[in-house]
């Protein structure tokens, strides 16, 4: 098996390797577990290589467990998310106070994300599928659409001192250094990362969402995580030189 090379002549259906000349990334998603359904495997490889990755979650996923009231679910899911991040080498996990299930796309959300981008000064911003559907077959949730779109927008907002001038009053100077926004879980991938080095940790990372998984599936959680994450990585292999992959749609800035 050969490692895929970016020759500049990559066929449209072949995925290019993710850019690797960067040091800091900020991953912005709606809910605990959003990053663990695939993306965390790539994050494990990046932190192994000495890169810094921080997580920003718009909510605590408090509406995610039918049998648990939001007041109890929020701290539980926050703890699970922190444990899950630690498995892939991420120590910085921050939460905004948007409401799970009813996140509104708008300037308040863009401002909160722009503030985080100014604070963390990432080269790479990661988010989750902002399209209407998952692969054209399942309807996406409004939270993912709102946070994905707002993150793509906020990467530019963060660099403009005249948008959200109140952030400057808070000491958050413009950051115009975001070079790419990479969207995980997309059905229009352009780039990929070898899933193999981080696969085992991505399974353990998803398993940390134990209360959520127990409510979600009657299947053995480990079997479920391994088959789900292994399956999506294998599905992408034909488009990445035969290498199981974590894929992203990369928007360069």
Given a contact cutoff of 8 angstroms between Cβ atoms, the answer to whether 242 and 212 are in contact is no
Q: Name which of 172 and 216 has its Cβ closer to Zn ion.
A: 216
Q: Distance between CA 79 and CA 81 in Å, rounded?
A: 5
Closest-by-Cβ residue to Zn ion is 31
Q: Are strands 52-57 and 124-128 parallel, antiparallel or unpaired?
A: unpaired
Q: Name which of 107 and 141 has its Cβ closer to Zn ion.
A: 141
Alpha helices by DSSP H, listed for the chain, are 39-48, 70-87, 107-120, 142-157, 165-169, 196-207, 210-216, 221-236
Nearest to 211 by CA among 97, 95, 75: 75
CB 144 to Zn ion: min, Å: 6
Q: Distance between CA 140 and CA 136 in Å, rounded?
A: 9
Q: Distance between CA 234 and CA 241 in Å, rounded?
A: 11
Give the binding site for Zn ion (CB under 5 A): 30-31, 34
SS3 239: helix
Q: Name which of 31 and 111 has its Cβ closer to Zn ion.
A: 31
CB 5 to Zn ion: min, Å: 34
CB 220 to Zn ion: min, Å: 22
Q: Distance between CA 3 and CA 241 in Å, rounded?
A: 7
Q: Name which of 32 and 174 has its Cβ closer to Zn ion.
A: 32
Q: Name which of 164 and 212 has its Cβ closer to Zn ion.
A: 212
Q: Distance between CA 98 and CA 59 in Å, rounded?
A: 5
Q: Distance between CA 134 and CA 150 in Å, rounded?
A: 18
Q: Name which of 31 and 239 has its Cβ closer to Zn ion.
A: 31
């Amino acid at each position: 098996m050969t490692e895929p090379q970016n020759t500049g002549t990559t066929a449209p259906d072949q995925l290019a390797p993710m850019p690797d000349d960067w040091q800091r990334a900020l991953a912005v998603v709606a809910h605990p577990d959003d990053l663990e359904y695939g993306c965390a495997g790539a994050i494990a490889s990046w932190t192994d290589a000495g890169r810094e990755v921080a997580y920003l979650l718009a909510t605590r996923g408090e509406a995610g467990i039918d049998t648990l009231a939001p007041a109890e679910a929020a701290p539980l899911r926050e703890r699970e998310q922190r444990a899950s991040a630690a498995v892939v080498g991420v120590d910085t996990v921050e939460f905004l106070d948007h409401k799970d299930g009813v996140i509104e796309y708008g300037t308040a959300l863009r401002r909160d994300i722009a503030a985080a981008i100014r604070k963390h000064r990432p080269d790479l911003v990661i988010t989750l599928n902002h399209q209407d559907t998952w692969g054209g077959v399942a309807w996406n949730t409004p939270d993912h659409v709102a946070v994905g779109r707002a993150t793509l927008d906020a990467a530019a907002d963060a660099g403009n001192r005249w948008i959200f001038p109140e952030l400057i009053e808070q000491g958050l100077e413009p950051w115009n250094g975001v070079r790419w926004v990479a969207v995980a879980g997309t059905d229009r991938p352009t780039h990929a990362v070898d899933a193999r080095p981080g696969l085992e940790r991505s399974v353990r990372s998803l398993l940390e969402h134990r209360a959520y998984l127990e409510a979600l599936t009657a299947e053995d959680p480990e079997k479920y995580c391994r088959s789900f994450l292994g399956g999506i990585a294998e599905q992408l292999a034909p488009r990445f030189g035969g290498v199981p992959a974590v894929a992203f749609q990369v928007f360069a800035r």
